[in-house]
Amino acid sequence: MLSVILIALVIVLYSFQTLFCRLYNKAYPGREDVSPFVYCAYYGVFVSVATFFFGGCTFSPSWQTVLFGLLNTFALLLYNITLIKATATGSYAIANLSLLSGGILIPLLESVLIFDGVLSPIQYAGIFLMLIAFGFLNADGFFKKKGEAKEKTGKMFYVYCALLLLANGAYGAFFNAQQKLLNEAERTEMIILTFLPSAAIGFLMVMAKAKKSTLACFKQTRLSALHLLLCCISATVAINLLVYIMSLVDIAVLFTVENGGVLIMSALYAVILFKEKITLNKIIGLVIAVISMALLGYATV
């Protein structure tokens, strides 16, 4: 029961991160092309520093944690690049479906093939239903309305989507592998080694784009700073909880529920706060996702 409560808390926190990130992007006063990298720099530093103090101000990583931390930094970098490239060259819905599916399928394969994870038929059914739910939730973006020009999609778009699937799945898989191999030790070190290098990369990207006006890009208004702070706090608590829960729940189940739960909350925020239209496909997807989470929650208790 504890694991179910903690997963629910992680879902709420990550949905807050998504919400405040969206609000931050709207309020950011600087150049649009550097906004993601400014966010990445602030976010990475905040998560790393807060985790360091939260972990008792200790930092003694083994070579295994350094390796997996740097691999995760690369996964984050690949995720950010392929997400930007995929959404710029083709359907956002297909790109979103790719990243969500990767967040489930890669950890599932790791759990079953490498760490001999055993799932019940109910858990497999729940994972399968969640993948179907993702399809319905993104279905509106697969087809153009009457009168809309068909979007030209090149071969590279599908390469970007495949890499996006791999990167999002690898992120969770590397965290899980480090925790399994070191018997749940060095959580603090793993989180810092994942996020601090990504912050440095974000800063370098801003420098490359803005050059002499780099520091000006990091200036915030009160509103953007508030949204950024709330986003960082939500993410910091969420990632620390998520890594802890990996020792309690099979990673395939954990990431299925987490990805599905955040998607449900984000869809609700879009309808309630941003007045986006909810379609029949989205309603069907939300219902299936709730059924999936109920099955996985029942099988996990």
- Sign for the CA dihedral angle at 32, 34, 36, 42 comes to negative
User: Residue 100: is its pLDDT beyond 90?
Assistant: no
pLDDT value of residue 184: 87
Query: Residue 209 CA to chain centroid, in angstroms?
Result: 25
Nearest to 249 by CA among 128, 121, 120: 120
Could you give the count of Cα atoms lying within 13 Å of 85 in the half-sphere of its Cβ? 17
pLDDT, tens digit, 9 for 90 and up, residues 195-249? 999 899 989 999 999 988 999 999 999 999 999 999 999 999 999 999 899 888 8
CB atoms < 10 A from the CB of 56, how many?
8
Indicate the domain borders of the chain: 2-300
pLDDT, tens digit, 9 for 90 and up, residues 37-86? 898 899 999 999 999 998 889 999 999 999 999 999 989 888 877 876 77
159 neighbors 93 (Cβ within 8 angstroms)? no
pLDDT value of residue 147: 55
Q: Report the alpha-carbon distance of residue 256 to residue 259 in Å, rounded.
A: 5
Of 241 and 97, the one with more pLDDT: 241
User: Residue 146: is its pLDDT beyond 60?
Assistant: no
12 neighbors 263 (Cβ within 8 angstroms)? no
Q: Report the alpha-carbon distance of residue 194 to residue 214 in Å, rounded.
A: 24
pLDDT value of residue 190: 94
pLDDT value of residue 144: 56
Q: What torsion do the CA atoms of 276, 279, 285, 288 make, to the nearest 10 degrees?
A: 110
pLDDT value of residue 153: 61
Q: What is the DSSP letter of 248?
A: T
Residues 6+ apart with CB under 8 A from 261: 7, 8, 11, 14, 15, 293
Question: Three-state SS for 230?
Answer: helix
pLDDT, tens digit, 9 for 90 and up, residues 255-289? 888 888 888 887 787 788 777 788 888 889 889 98
Of 148 and 185, the one with more pLDDT: 185
Residue 98 to residues 30, 169, 213, 271: CA-CA distances in angstroms?
30, 10, 36, 23
**H helices present in the chain, as ranges:** 2-27, 35-54, 63-89, 92-109, 121-137, 155-181, 187-210, 214-217, 222-245, 251-272, 280-300
pLDDT, tens digit, 9 for 90 and up, residues 123-140? 899 899 988 988 888 777
Q: Report the alpha-carbon distance of residue 123 to residue 233 in Å, rounded.
A: 31
User: Residue 152: is its pLDDT beyond 70?
Assistant: no
User: Residue 298: is its pLDDT beyond 80?
Assistant: no
Residues 6+ apart with CB under 8 A from 152: none
79 neighbors 99 (Cβ within 8 angstroms)? yes
Q: Report the alpha-carbon distance of residue 298 to residue 290 in Å, rounded.
A: 12
pLDDT value of residue 29: 92
The predicted model gives 91-97 an average pLDDT of: 73
262 neighbors 18 (Cβ within 8 angstroms)? yes
Structure-block tokens of residue 1: 């029961």
